[in-house]
Every structure is written in C-alpha cells, then in structure tokens.
Amino acid sequence: MATHWADRIAKEIITSGKYKPYWVDDMKTPSGFSHVGSLMGPLIHSMIFRALKDAGKDGNFTFVINDFDPADDLLPELKGKYEKYLGIPLKLAPSPDTKFGSMADLFGSDFISSIRSLGVEAEILSSWEMYHQGKFDEVIRIALDNAEKIQDIYQKVSGSKKKEAGWLPFQVICENCSKLGTTKVFAWDGEKVSYKCEPALVKWAVGCGHEGKISPFGGTGKLPWKVDWAAHWKVIGVTIEGAGKDHASAGGSYDIAMTICKEVFKYDQPYKFPYEFILIGGRKMSSSKGLGLKAHDLVKILPPSVGRFLFARSDIRSQSNFDPMGTMAIPDLFDEYDKAWEAYDKGGYEKLARTYVLSQIDKIPEKEKGFFAPRFKDVANYLSQGLSEDELLEKFTEIKGGKLDESELTILEERIKYAEVWLSDYAPDEYRFDMTDTVPEETTKLTEEQKKYLKGILKIFNEGDDAKSLQISLYELTKELQVPIKDAFESIYLAFIGKTRGPRAGMLLSKFGKRKVVERIMEATGKKGKSYLSQKVNLIDVPKYFSIDPKVKEAYPSVSVGIALIKGISVSKTNSELQEEIDKFSDEQKNLTTEVLGSYPEILSYRRLYKEMGIDWHSKRPGPEELLRRVALKKGLYSINNCVDAYNLVVMRNRISVGAFDADKVVFPTTLRFAEEGDEIILIGNKEPVKYTAKELAYYDQKGGYNTDFNYRDAQRTMVTDKTKNAWINVDGIYDTTPEKVQKTLDEALDLILKYCGGKLEFKGVAI
C-alpha cells in the first residue's frame, strides 16, 4: 500500500543508520514578508520530524532565522527611503514598523508567527546570535585556513571560474558604514583579517571605500552563504536538511555546501532531499518582487489544519499549484481535506488518512462515529444566497438527518468565517457581489417601508463595524422599525446589487464601507444624480498640492481634510471688530464646563484619534479642546494675529481643528501621513527639535513635517507671520467630524480670514 512521502523519507533515514542523532533543520533569510511558497520548507521538515517521532525515533527540530544576512533587495513599498540600508545586516537595518528593532525582527517574527500557526514545532535559532556567541569561531578559522580548498570545491562542483587570487571566504561588517554585503576580505594572518568596503563589489549596494583590519570572531562578520550553510550543520549538529530544487540542482549550492561540509569541516553530510516549488497561478513566488500570496495571509483564508494540508497532500517531488484568486481552489481544497478526514475517521485509504493526521496542528482528533462535516462549498453557496446562520444550521441539520453535535457546530462556525472571506475576496465572479456603478433601476420597486429601513441603516452603521456586528444591528433594526426581515434585506440587495437576494447583508455592507453605503442609500431613497456627499461637500483632488497617504486611508477610512489656498492676504495684529466677535463668543459660553467639553462628538473624535496614536490627550489636548478649555476655565484667549485669531474663532464655534500656514514656506505637494520614527520638527515657541513617533498623524511637505498630531502644534518654519502673503489652510476631519462638518468649518474659516485679512481665494474643497 502506498505510503505518505514523509513516512517514506523517515524510513530511508532510519534504515540507513547514518543520520544519528536525528536532527532536522531548516532556515530562512527574513528579507521581506515571506510568500506562501516560503512555508514549504518548514512544513516539509515538520512533517518529516513527526514521521520520525511516529516511527518511535526521538530527535531535534530547529529552524534558523538567517538574520545576519545583508539586506540585498527590498519590498516594492520600501524602495526609496530604505535603499540606503542595502548591504547592512538585516539585524542592523531599521524596521519600517517601529514596534520591531530591525528588519530582521519584523520580517522574522512575521514568518515565525505564520509557521507557528501551521503547527511548526521547531526551536527557533538566530544566526546573528550564534555568531555573536562565538559558536561559529571554530568553523570561521577552518574556512579561512582552507580558503584555497574551498575555491577548488566551488570550481570542481559547479564548474565556475576560480575566484581571484587572495579571495577569502569571509565578509566583515564595515567599521565605518556598517555594511556587510560590500566588504571584501583580502588577507588573514591567523588572528585578524584585512578588508576593504568596496564601492562596486555588488550591484545592489555601494560600499564606502573604508579599509580596516579586525578579528573575524565573535560576530564581526560571517561566512558567505554556501560556506555558512555547511557551517550551520556542523555548529548545530544537523543530520537532516532538505532544500528547494533551485538550490538542489546538480552542481548547485546544495552540492557545494555538502562537499564543503565533508571535505573542509570534516562533518558527516546531512540526509539530502530536494523538493519542488508550490506555484501561485503557475508562477514562482518572490517576496522581494511582491509576487504571490503572503505567508501571513494563508491563515486568514484557510483554517490552520487545511493550510497545513495544502503542503501535506502532494508528493514533494511534484510541483504543485495553488491559485485562490477568482477560482474554486479553496473550496476544492476543503473537499480534499474532508475526504482525507473521512478516510481517517472510517478507516479508508491509508495514505489519505495519514495525510489528514500530518495536517493536524497538535492533537489528533479522536475518530468519530458517523462522520459528518458541513461542506465548505455548501456553506459558501448558502451564504451567497443571503441565508442567516440560523438558516444555515437548519440546512445542515436537514442534510445530516439529525442535530449537529458540538464539534460539528464548531466546524460550521469556522467554515462560515472562512467562506465569508472567500466570497468577499477570492470567489469567482458568479459567487461575488459588487456594488453596481449606478443606482439599479430595480430601486423603483422599493416600498416606502423599505426606504424607511434603508434610511435607518444610516443611524446604525458605525465606521469600523465588522460583518458580524453589522449583521446583528441590521436584524435589530428590522425589529425596531417593524419591517419584515425578508423585505428589509431585499431592500439592501435591490439598492446595492440590483437583485432580490444576495450574500449576508452585514458582509456585503461592511465590504463597501460606510461612505459608499451612505451615498448609495441616499441616492436609492430619492436623491438622484450627484451623491449625497458631493451635494453637501465640494470634493477636491489636487495632487500637486495635497494628498492623503493610502496607509492613512486604510487605518482611518473616515479621514477627510479641508484644504484651501488664499493669496494676497495682509497679516497684522487683530483688529477691534474681530476682537469684539471673539469676546462675544466667550461671553456666550458662561455655562461651558470641562465636563460639557467631553460630551461633544467632535472633541471625542479627536480624543479617540489621539488615543490610537498613543498620545495622552490630557497632556496634549487637541486644538479645539485646548482653546475651549481656556474659555471654560476663564483663563482668557491669546491674541496672535488677525489670521490666526480669525480661524481660531471658527475652531471654537465648530469644535473642529483648523491650521493656517505660510504657503511660500511650504514646499508642495503636501501629504497627510504617518510620521517616520525619529523624524524631527521645531515647533512654534521651541528652540530644540522634538521627535515624532511612527503612530503620529501629521502634515508633511517636501522638507518634512509642518505640524504634529493632526494640527496639535505647528512648525516654526511654516508659521503665519506679519510677512505672510499667501496662506495654506488645512481642516481636520476624523470619525464624527464628518466631511460635511469639515466643509462647513472650512467655508466659515475662509470667510473670516478673507474678511479680516483680505486676499483672493484660489481654490477650496475637501479631500477624502
């Protein structure tokens, strides 16, 4: 009877008697967010390790993060700012995410999290740490003493040209620029190596030209990777390690490392086994080129056991293909998994049953009598028809012919979760439902009761609601408005997709987001032509002056910014008429208290943003709150100049933040984006710069940040003074500070500035 490939390999290892102790190892360079194909190695080694254990053999399993390797390529989104770190060890290159100390920590932890979720039980080792602990000192000395022999092996095994005279198999971290990938070691005296940081050694990094002499021990440098690979085997004690076919071809890096292992390090060669790639849509994946599904995405679209099954099901000698986008690949994979599960439960085909066992994350489930698993395709099909969870339960109770037990209910709940993801992002067009470009003609069929229900959604749909919470709210709304469930949900499908049925309404609306939902409902219930937003808001798109970074839009979908350019203003001390307006406003706030301030939705919106940026709003109060707090505490208001005082009055009236800047000092285009950790800004009134954190939302021009924390405080270099002739205006919208409120505040601020400062308005509008 056919056996599983992991058991076949385990049997070969045990029968040979050569690979004791049984030490399984694999490794990965954390150069970016790894693709799904990178999971192949750790999962294959995990299954072989388990097969050895199941055969009664104890052993070890390690996984090395090669964090000492130099950064030699970048993810597309990191190119530009991070190119100066090319050549530097990944452990020293700064992380774009400030929660991590280095690129190696960011990308390494991301990959480790992915393999852990798929049941990879290996002990994680760091090559950086092992080198710095001196564990590689012995093999470094052996390699340097045998440089000529290693050259001969390269030439003999791969047929490559012999390296130039004096080549030594070692690279050091340049003491001047910290680069590793650009250094060339050219002398070894038994104690120290001499090196030069070559400007043109590689195409992907530029060396600084520094020359030095240093001990090669204790982590000052590392071996080149083919030598390093063999060195890892000796240092760790590895006896079993496979490699992808790109490394395992005849004369390739695997063969070179094997030969160095035997002839230079005098260590028994590990058990060798090559394995094929897994392709996405027929293409080989690449982390640095951004090709292929990311490893961390796999656990979002597949339960861990099904994700592991993806790698367990095919013989490692056969190339496999997984193309989830717009195909039935995911439902088909679930079907295959269920067949393997059934084979295990009912004592069917042994190889299939064994595949199921090796796919489990930890504990193997006990065999069930009367196997039943809700089929993924059925779950997805029912969801696409708009059935509720209760209706799904009824369907599967009917299919089973009896009540679902606890384990079956758990499986159903899990499959509903992953089916919703599939329907939303991966299913073929016939399963997916996208909002029509225009209001469907079918909305003419809406009854007044259905229109009433649709309008009710505007009150219950909160920014950030997920599919599940929104589904519950939509059901509660049917009870509150006493609209039959069928009629209520039909109104949603008619308005958004032009059909009477569709997927779960909560899933559908959460996919579109609040802004699009608001627009469509307003149009569908009577406001034709322009969208609801555009009727009240002058939407503007002027990239030569301003844009909102996509990462900000993703993190804060409700964000909106009022922008305007005024030319020819005259800035002076405040005048008596403006001061009278300010005094009148202050007098009208006699009953204002700090407690009342805390009830305003605009103030609460800014506080919520500050909390999410990691800022204590008690110590750094948002602009509107700070001004109104002075009024409430009878502390009086500062008078700056006629421009600043004018818009500050509007800020207090509307409780919405406004900023004005000297447009001739601003280097356009500007952007609302997250600050880079460590960026500096000299604020108005300060002598020394302060540093941003990476969570802070700030306005930037081409010179740097010109304010902090969404108009909390502004930079000296762009402040409005008596010399300012042209003013750049920003108005901040977030959460309950809606685009409509931003537009109103912008209009009032411009009216008052033009009234007291003169000038001509060039343009205005709200960017979303």
DSSP notation for 724-757: --EEEEEEEE-TTS-HHHHHHHHHHHHHHHHHHH
- What local confidence, expressed as pLDDT, does residue 636 receive? 84
What angle separates helix 467-481 from helix 505-512, to the nearest 10 degrees? 120
User: Which residue is listed with tokens 């006896």?
Assistant: 239
Q: Which tokens hold the place of 447?
A: 């009854």
Task: Please state which of the ranges 79-83, 116-120, 730-734 shows the lowest mean pLDDT.
Answer: 79-83
pLDDT of amino acid 614: 86
Q: Residue 323: pLDDT above 70?
A: yes
pLDDT of residue 145: 97
Under 8 Å between Cβ of 165 and 186: no
Angle formed at CA 672 by CA 668 and CA 676, multiple of 5 degrees:
100
For the segment 296-302, the average pLDDT, to the nearest whole number, is 90
- What is the pLDDT at residue 106? 95
The verdict on pTM exceeding 0.85 is no
Averaged pLDDT, 18-47: 94
- Whether residue 294 contacts residue 191, with contact meaning beta carbons closer than 8 Å, is answered with no
Per-residue model confidence (pLDDT) at position 21: 95
Cα–Cα distance measured from residue 693 to residue 245, given in angstroms and rounded to the nearest whole number: 44
pLDDT at 287: 43
Q: For position 367, what pLDDT does the model report?
A: 67
**∠ CA(57), CA(62), CA(66), 5° rounding?**
160
Confirm if 364 and 464 have CB atoms less than 8 A apart.
no
96 pLDDT more than 80: yes
Residue 285, pLDDT above cutoff 60: no
Rounded CA separation 580/557 (Å) = 39
Of the CA atoms within 13 Å of residue 393, those in its CB half-sphere come to 12
Is the pLDDT at 10 greater than 50? The verdict is yes
Q: State the SS3 of 59-81.
A: EEEEEEECCCCECCCCCHHHCCH
pLDDT computed for residue 204 by the predictor: 92
Query: What is the per-residue pLDDT across 507-529, written as a single tens digit (0 to 9) for each?
Result: 888 878 777 788 788 888 874 43
State yes or no: pLDDT of 391 exceeds 90.
no
Above pLDDT 70, what percent of the chain? 95
Q: How confident is the model at residue 292 (pLDDT cuts 50, 70, 90)?
A: low
Identify the structural domains of the chain with CATH numbers, from first to last: 441-536 (1.10.10.350), 546-767 (3.50.40.10)
Greatest mean pLDDT among 167-176, 239-248, 430-439, 670-679 lies in 167-176
Average pLDDT over the chain reads 89
Residue 534 confidence (pLDDT) = 45
Residue 38 carries which DSSP code? G
3-state secondary structure 609-622: HHHHCCCCCCCCCC
Other Cβ atoms less than 10 A from the Cβ of 571: the count is 23
For the stretch 185-234, pLDDT in tens is: 999 999 999 999 999 999 999 999 999 999 999 999 999 999 999 999 99
pLDDT value at 637 more than 90: no
Average pLDDT over residues 117-131: 97
Dihedral class, residue 483 (left if φ above 0, else alpha if ψ from -120 to 50, else beta): beta
For residue 291, pLDDT over 70 is answered with no
The pLDDT value given to residue 289: 41
Considering only 6-10, 130-134, 425-429, which range has the smallest mean pLDDT?
Answer: 425-429
Q: Give the pLDDT confidence score for residue 746 in this predicted structure.
A: 95
Whether the predicted pLDDT of 622 surpasses 90: no
